[in-house]
Amino acid sequence: MLQTRQDDLGERFQLQRAAFGTQPFPDLGVRKDRLKRLLALTEKHEADICAAIDADFGGRSAHETRLAELFVVRAGIHHALAHLKGWMRERRVATTMPFLPGRNRLVPQPLGVVGIVSPWNYPFQLAVAPVTAALAAGNRALIKPSELTPAFSALLAKLVAEHFAADELSVITGDAEMGKAFVSMPFDHLLFTGSTSVGRQVAIAAAANLTPVTLELGGKSPAIFDPSCDLDAAVSSIAYGKLLNAGQTCIAPDYLLVPKGQGDAVSAKLATAIARLYPTLRDNPDYTAIISDRHHQRLRDMIAEARDAGADVTEINPAGEELGASRKMLPTLVRNASANLRLMREEIFGPVLPIVEYAGIDDAIDHVNGADRPLALYWFGRDSGNRQRMLHETVAGGVTINDCMLHLVQENQPFGGVGASGMGAYHGEWGFRTFSKEKPVFLQSRLSAGAMLRPPYGKTFERLFSLLRHIT
């Protein structure tokens, strides 16, 4: 991958800032044209995108790339094109009586130049979905993709250059040092997707420029089986949600809470469900590899630590294969893991699922609330009382009931974290609003009586002020 020079980063930023200065409020036609070009980039190069991501992972399911990346992005662009005119419209806002017949309006205004830092796990979706929102809102944008996906990052830079002028949209490639320089630029808004630890450093760098940030982070997202759940359906959803992209998903179920005494039964059902999805692993194109040797070793070390500490570790290997030198990893279930293990403290980001038994709804709620607020929470069951308690007494970035991950793909709802799992939101109109300044405007009427409240004060002021006090 050819790295962008540091000087080029500054030059492209200034190029976009100057271009925004000449067109600070692009009209509907300009914005739709940019979105349509983004859609063409998505639709015309599907095979190339799948191949580049497959090469970076050393085995990435093309079906997962098409479904979890290209389909999601395509749906988001279509949604933006269909609703953009309404999002751009000035909104009427009620005016309180003392200020009538003046009028209030909210004007959504582009911010300027937006920076987007995207991660390696869904490199296309998590770069282009924020770009969709930024362009819809009328901004220019720079993208810094992950250095861990060099083939894809080079392809994205090439495709963006083919479909956009550099003063509209541009890709900055490079290593972690380039990433540090990127987030230190005085963007008008910065969106970062990645780990909580790096997110903290991004926020510090952005604060030096008072750059507002949207942080899409991660954490330990729980899945909870209520005693009232359909166990077979719940297990099937968890198996799929956990092993999509081999667990390298920020909203994947990180650990599973099950009623006391059900750990063995759930573990056995999960093993069966996993074997049904992936009857083989090593040469199965549906099963994705771990992104790098370092990440693969980290997962192996976490499992070894749990095994050495006496946890029950079950590796699922339906065909009894040797995975050899590939970075594919056996799906692994872990029971009776103590709370101090890395597996229970760190976001796992791989095909490893701890199963924890809980004593009752209060215990389950306490377990969730005893950790940082997660990006996602999954609850399975039919007991509406327990469901409401879980919704009302825990805080999470988003929730899916009786399934996994589907809250992320709802364009009519915001997606974002809370606390250690992030701040801010995007998708659909929420993305448009994230990258806009909703500017309040008050239009004074020529019939205003406001001048009567100005000096010199006297009886007229007192009578009018007394009236205002009674009507507000």
pLDDT for position 467: 85
Q: Token pair for residue 265?
A: 């039964």
Q: Is residue 300 part of a domain?
A: yes
Q: Is residue 456 part of a domain?
A: no
Q: Is residue 461 part of a domain?
A: no
Q: Are residues 255 and 303 both part of a single domain?
A: yes
Q: Are residues 32 and 174 both part of a single domain?
A: yes
**Residues 337-382: pLDDT tens digits?**
999 999 999 999 999 999 999 999 999 999 999 999 999 999 999 9
Q: Are residues 270 and 179 both part of a single domain?
A: no
Tell me which residues of the chain have a pLDDT lower than 50: none
CA distance 115 to 47: 27
Q: Are residues 87 and 128 both part of a single domain?
A: yes
Q: Is residue 367 part of a domain?
A: yes
pLDDT for position 2: 64
pTM given for the model: 0.95
Q: Tell the residue number behind the tokens 């899916």, with chain if given.
A: 400
Q: Give the CATH number, domain containing residue 355.
A: 3.40.309.10
pLDDT for position 463: 87
Phi, psi of 384 (to 5 degrees): -65, -30
Q: Are residues 398 and 428 both part of a single domain?
A: no
Q: Are residues 175 and 228 both part of a single domain?
A: no
Q: Are residues 134 and 230 both part of a single domain?
A: no
CA 307 to mean position of chain CA atoms: 32
Q: Give the CATH number, domain containing residue 79.
A: 3.40.605.10
Q: Are residues 50 and 16 both part of a single domain?
A: yes
Alpha helices in 23-67 (DSSP H): 28-44, 46-57, 62-65
Instruction: Name every residue whose Cβ is closer than 8 Å to that of residue 117 and which is 6 or more positions away in sequence.
Output: 143, 144, 179, 182, 183, 190, 191, 192, 193, 194, 202
Residue 113: CB atoms within 10 Å? 25
Q: Which of 64, 168, 216, 411 is catalytic?
A: 216
Q: Tell me which residue of 96, 93, 129 sits closest to 108, measured CA to CA.
A: 93
pLDDT for position 189: 98
Residue 192: helix, strand or coil by DSSP? strand
Starting from the edge strand earliest in sequence, which strands make up the sheet with 169-171, in order? Answer: 169-171, 140-144, 113-117, 189-193, 213-216, 422-423
- Peptide bond just before 456 cis, omega within 30 deg: yes
CA distance 326 to 31: 44
Cβ contact 177:192 at 8 Å: no
Number of structural domains, the chain? 2
Q: Is 50 a catalytic residue?
A: no
pLDDT for position 448: 84
DSSP string of 266-319?
HHHHHHHHHHHH-S--TT-TTSPPPS-HHHHHHHHHHHHHHHHTT-EEEE--TT
Q: Is residue 1 part of a domain?
A: no
Q: Is residue 120 part of a domain?
A: yes
The Cα angle at residue 217 between residues 215 and 219, in degrees rounded to 5: 150
Q: Are residues 227 and 195 both part of a single domain?
A: no
Q: Are residues 47 and 170 both part of a single domain?
A: yes
Residue 102: helix, strand or coil by DSSP? coil
Q: Token pair for residue 359?
A: 């004593």
Q: Are residues 181 and 247 both part of a single domain?
A: no
Q: Tell the residue number behind the tokens 């390298």, with chain if given.
A: 248
**Widest distance between CA atoms in the chain:** 94
Phi, psi of 337 (to 5 degrees): -85, 130
Cβ contact 344:376 at 8 Å: no
Instruction: Name every residue whose Cβ is closer than 8 Å to that of residue 14 and which is 6 or more positions away in sequence.
Output: none
Residue 55, judged by CB atoms within 10 A of its CB (0-12, 13-18, 19+), counts as: middle
**Residues 409-429: pLDDT tens digits?**
999 999 999 999 999 999 999
Pairing of strands 352-358, 332-335: parallel
Cβ contact 94:440 at 8 Å: no
Q: Are residues 431 and 371 both part of a single domain?
A: no
Q: Is residue 279 part of a domain?
A: yes
In the chain, the N- to C-terminal Cα span, in Å, equals 64
Where in the sequence is the domain holding 282, given as residue range(s)?
Answer: 222-416
CA distance 66 to 64: 5
Q: Which amino acid is at 173?
A: T
